[in-house]
Structure 1
């Protein structure tokens, strides 16, 4: 869907001199960790038992009501539950996401089940279906995933290549192409088919030749087939998803070149002078985008195999960087100690702003926004969004995977 893809605007920061622990460095999570806290808050604040569905509205607010989210939000939140391994909740969230499936086997943007289909969103639905099949063994989930994968592959653009962003639309997005590739290799894990590997490799090759900036190695947003015009915007999620896909391809094929390719991307993404950093060293994308970069590094470190000293050194540096970035989010983007997270410390609440500017003096001014509070009451209870909250939870889940 055509969401605004603006970077989170942060002023120059200073490096953290100390960090609160958010989990053991061996990857295990304590009961008081950021992951378990964020996970519990995601479920309690946004799963609506009366509707048996995710709620767009933050249920911490009195009289919150119910509003059906778009499928992107539902996919991200549902993957959080898949990752938790809670079988009862997995069943519930899959039943919910199936309400978006249309007669052709695509998943529509809304429960209208119409032809308003975005291929990047559907690829994320694929991840949910595959994970649910792995957790519960329900063959119907695998069948739905296979049908959806065939649909996604049919959206390879005949003019310029790559996967269309929207069904039959005149725009090929890097994220739709890369998330489709990642869906293919994830499906291969549970239902091996060489065509899936070939498709993923074709996606990676097309991105490298068509939408990867040869100067900083980051990835452009997409291309319009009718004009050949490239949208040169760059966000963390494309890099993260491509790193994940390369890690899977390394695991499947054993080819070390995929690790080398992932390291080029990883080094580009962790270049402190690059597009993804504030001047003082923190990732500047919104949580809904940066969660995929955390996932990319977690996949690379867990699935990929470093066979050379250069590769091993890169893996070590990524572990350190991911911990620094996650600690920053834990310390400054959390609402108190609630496990709830916001995207903007300059508008969320006076308390969050004060804590932030105490650590980073003269970093910005507070611009109160009534939409950040329950009922629009300035200074009242801070509310967050389903997508932001689920993304934060996914970030700390990915942190827990890194050893």
Structure 2
């Protein structure tokens, strides 16, 4: 396998392979040839997987114009998941009435729509995104009896308040604020309210990472610190700084960026010496961490502290190479969802793991990356996330 040289080109190959493997023009949606991770029933994918796949197609189209004709069919898939009455998108395809709706999923749907508008200029996508942003804003917790005040709900019928929903909805609001100037203040103020809550309630003051969530009927915070929660909050705080120039957001963004590349952080595998530690979350989380770091460098720009851009560059570069070397199947170029070098294809592990990591960890496969017989199995989410790892990573590391 040739070494990784151009992350954008690798993203191109993965996105193209994903489309050819999963998009079914007759059905007008993504179809699995056999049941895999992210499927419900036997062959349909949950809307979260569809949103990541669509984001990958739009990312590809931004760089490679030949992907532009795929945007319309890709974004059209979402309509199969829409609740026509409350305007949210359900986890599964439905007749228009299903209420199994998650605000974080829908925020990623919204991001795909708004980015499609950025890339094409087609106002259809802006209109869809605006309607969805308005729905998302309705997920704010304003229950006067709640123990935990504020924050975005995770699901329309549950009282859990999550960092992923709160930051991703803030991101969507900031994204659309650029396109509708006469409504921009409403969106920016809502995003600021979200990130204020996120920092006050869910940031761990000791390491600056973002914790997972809290119930509105409780003040006991879930201490899990997934990489994407820090990444999406970093995206939003950085964008808020670009818009407002308020140093409050700059300070928050700087702390989050430092935390994201600190080898002692929760989401690094700390079973290794410092120089070998890596992000251990699955690729569908890591892609949003990398996007957060890229957004930070873009939105904060010249105000990023001296030396930090190079450190971020080097950390992302190291991870892109590792992901390419270990999670790519040399047989067909596809990627599973794991980001951990020992949780990979057996032949890849046998060929190179010990050279890179010594006797670090025994080979295994995560449950989400294997079929019922224990063999490696790829899925729509794995392809979409891998493409986005490379496209977002290329914003920081255009060439290896």
Q: Deviations over 1:25-65 (max 9, x none)?
A: xxxx4xxx4222222222222222332211245799xxxx9
Structure 2 residue matching 1:223: 3-state secondary structure: strand
Q: Find 1:119's aligned residue among 90, 97, 103.
A: 103
Question: Does the 8 A contact of 2:152 with 2:165 survive in 1?
Answer: yes
> What residue in structure 2 maps to residue 102 of structure 1?
83
Tell whether the 8 Å contact from 1:165 to 1:171 is kept in structure 2 after alignment: yes
Aligned-pair distance for 1:21?
A: 3.5
Q: Find out whether 1:334 has 2:328 as its counterpart.
A: yes
Q: Secondary structure at the match of 2:44?
A: coil
180, 183, 192: which one aligns with 2:172: 183
Q: Is the 1:41–1:338 contact (alpha carbons within 8 Å) kept by the matching residues of 2?
A: no
1:155-304 matched pairs, under 5 angstroms: 155-158=139-142, 159=146, 160-192=149-181, 193-278=184-269, 279=272, 280-304=276-300
Q: Answer whether contact 1:35 1:400 (CA < 8 A) is retained.
A: no
Mapping of 1:356-395 within 5 angstroms? 356-359=352-355, 360-367=357-364, 376=373, 382-395=376-389
Q: Deviations over 1:204-237 (max 9, x none)?
A: 1101110100101111110111122211111000
Report which stretch shifted further, 194-203 or 96-105.
96-105
How does the TM-score come out when normalised to structure 1? 0.85
> Of residues 308, 311, 318 in structure 2, which corresponds to 1:317?
311
CA contact (8 A) 2:202 2:213 kept: yes
Report the TM-score when normalising by structure 2.
0.85
Cα deviation for residue 142 of structure 1 reads 1.8
RMSD: 2.5
Counterpart position of 2:68: 87
**Helix, strand or coil at the partner of 1:39:** helix
Q: 1:202 to 1:48 in 2, by over 3 A?
A: same
State how 1:335-354 maps to structure 2 within 5 Å.
335-336=329-330, 338-342=332-336, 343=338, 345-346=341-342, 348-354=344-350
Structure 2 counterpart SS, 1:172:
strand
Cα gap change, 1:252/1:372 in structure 2, threshold over 3 Å: closer, same or farther?
A: closer
* Structure 2: runs of 5 or more not aligned: 62-66
- Size of the alignment, in residue pairs? 369
Confirm or deny that 1:305 pairs with 2:301.
Answer: yes
Q: Per the alignment, do residues 169 and 273 of structure 1 end up closer, same or farther by CA in structure 2, a change over 3 Å counting?
A: same
Deviations 1:177-222 (A, max 9, x none): 0000001001112223201000010111101110100101111110
Can you list the C-alpha shifts for 1:121-143, whole angstroms capped at 9, x where unaligned? 01011111112222333333222
Q: 1:365 to 1:211 in 2, by over 3 A?
A: same
Kindly tell me: are residues 137 and 226 of structure 1, through their superposed partners in 2, closer, same or farther at Cα, counting changes over 3 Å? same
Secondary structure (helix, strand or coil) at the match of 1:190 reads coil
CA distance in 2, matches of 1:371, 1:231: 23
How far, CA to CA, are the matches of 1:90 and 1:363 in structure 2?
42
8 Å contact from structure 2 (residues 326, 344) kept in 1: no
Q: Which is worse superposed, 135-144 or 94-103?
A: 135-144
